[in-house]
Amino acid sequence: MLDIPRIFTITESEHRIHNPYTAEKLATLGAVLRLKPETRVLDLGSGSGEMLCTWARDHAITGTGIDMSPLFCQQADQRARELGVGGRVRFIHADAAGYVANEKVDLAACIGATWIGGGAAGTIELLSRSLCPGGMILVGEPYWLRLPPTEDIARNSDASAIADFHTLPELVASFGKLGYDVVEMVLADQEGWDRYEAAKWLTMRRWLEANPNDGFAAEIRNQLTIQPARYVTYTREYLGWGVFALMAR
Ligand code: SAH
C-alpha cells in the first residue's frame, strides 16, 4: 500500500497539525483570509485534515485533501466526523504529485509538503492548474530565521544544506519573481515549533514502551535520546516557518 516513511507515522501519530503551527495559528490564518462560505479548497499533503476540517466548521468552506499516508487520511476522516463536517470535506489517499482537480477551486494549498511539486516554485505551478481565475494559493514553507554560520548547523536544523532554504526576505521576494503578490502571511513561532517537535518526544516514549521488540525500536530510541537537545540547540533557533497567501499578478 502507498505510504510515507514509517518514522513519520510513528513520531507524528498523535499530531493533529504536522507542522510548527498551533490550532490558534491555523484559526488566525482562516480568519485573515476572509474565507466566504462555500469557498472550494484543495489541500495537497493534507495530513490529518485539521485545516480543512476546522475551516469547514468555522467558515463553512468545502474541501478536498490529498495525502499519501493511509493513517493520516483515516485520522482526517475521523476528525471530520468529530467536527460534524463529513459532508463538506473529503480526503483521498493518493500521491499528490501531478494532482490537478477536475473542478477548479478558489483556494489551493500545500502546507509544508512542497516536495510534492519538486519545491515551492513547482508546487505553486501545480496548484495554479487547479485554481479558478482570481483564486488564491497557500504555501507553507520553512525559511532561515538566522542564517546558519556553518553547513553543519544547517544539517542539524532539519536542512540538508544552507542552500535548501531562503531567509524570509528572500522567500517573500521569490514569490514576487514567480509573478505572484504576497497578499497575507501568518508565521509560526517557537511555541508552534515546540508543539510540533516536543509532541514527538512523548509519542516516541510511549511507542517504545508499547513496542520494545519492534525492528524500529533502536531507531526510535536513538531519536528520543538525541532530538530534544538537538532541537533546542538548532532548529528552534535557526528555522522559521510560515504560510504565505499568493495571488497571480
Ligand atoms: N499539511 C498538513 C501535513 C503536513 S506534513 C499539516 O499541516 O498538518 C506533510 C504531509 O505530506 C504528510 O501528511 C505526508 O503524508 C504528506 N505527503 C508526503 N508526500 C506526499 C505525496 N507525494 N503526496 C501526498 N501527500 C504526501
Quote the domain boundaries for residue 174: 6-144+165-188+240-248
103 lies in a domain? Answer: yes
Q: How far is the CA of 67 from the centre of ligand 1 (A)?
A: 6
Residue 80: per-residue pLDDT: 99
Q: Is residue 40 part of a domain?
A: yes
Cut 0.75: pTM above it: yes
Quick check: helix, strand or coil at residue 2? coil
4 lines ligand 1 (CB under 6 A): yes
pLDDT at 16: 98
Quote the ligand 1 centre to 151 CA distance (angstroms): 26
Residue 114 maps to a domain: yes
pLDDT of residue 143: 98
pLDDT at 150: 98
Q: What is the CATH number of the domain that holds 178?
A: 3.40.50.150
Determine the Cα–Cα distance for residues 186 and 244; give it in Å rounded to an integer. Answer: 7
Single out the residue of 155, 165, 175 nearest to residue 240, CA to CA: 165
Q: What total of structural domains would you count in the chain?
A: 1
pLDDT of residue 47: 98
pLDDT classification of 106: cutoffs 50, 70, 90: very high
Spatial strand order of the sheet with 89-93 comes to: 89-93, 62-67, 40-44, 105-111, 131-144, 239-248, 180-187
Asked whether residue 21 is domain-assigned, the answer is: yes
Distance 116 CA to ligand 1 centre (A): 8
pLDDT at 128: 98
pLDDT at 115: 97
Question: Cβ atoms within 10 A of the Cβ of 112, count?
Answer: 20
- HEC per residue, 26-46: HHHHHHHCCCCCCCEEEEECC
- Do 220 and 10 contact (CB within 8 A), yes or no? yes
pLDDT confidence of residue 129: 98
Whether residue 209 is contained in a domain is answered as no
pLDDT, residue 100, reads 98
**Beta bridge mates, 110:** 139
- C-alpha span between 201 and 2 (Å, rounded): 26
For a pocket test of ligand 1, which of 4, 42, 126 has the largest count of ligand atoms closer than 8 A to its C-beta?
Answer: 4
| pLDDT tens per residue across span 6-18 | 999 999 999 999 9
Quickly state the pLDDT bin for 189 (edges 50, 70, 90). very high
Mean pLDDT value across residues 150-170: 98
- pLDDT value of position 240: 98
C-alpha of residue 29 to centroid of ligand 1, in Å: 19
Asked whether residue 206 is domain-assigned, the answer is: no
What's the grid cell of residue 99?
494532482
- Cβ of 111 less than 6 Å from ligand 1: yes
Q: Quick one: pLDDT band at residue 217, thresholds 50, 70, 90?
A: very high
Q: Tell me, what's the pLDDT at 166?
A: 98
Residue 204 lies in a domain: no
Kindly state the percentage of the chain with pLDDT values over 90.
100
Q: What mean pLDDT is reported for the chain?
A: 98
Minimum-distance ligand 1 atom for the alpha carbon of 95: 23
> What is the structure's pLDDT at 163?
97
Ligand 1, pocket-test mutation among 68, 79, 100, most atoms within 8 A of CB: 68
Cell numbers at 108, concatenated = 489551493
In a domain, 211, yes or no: no
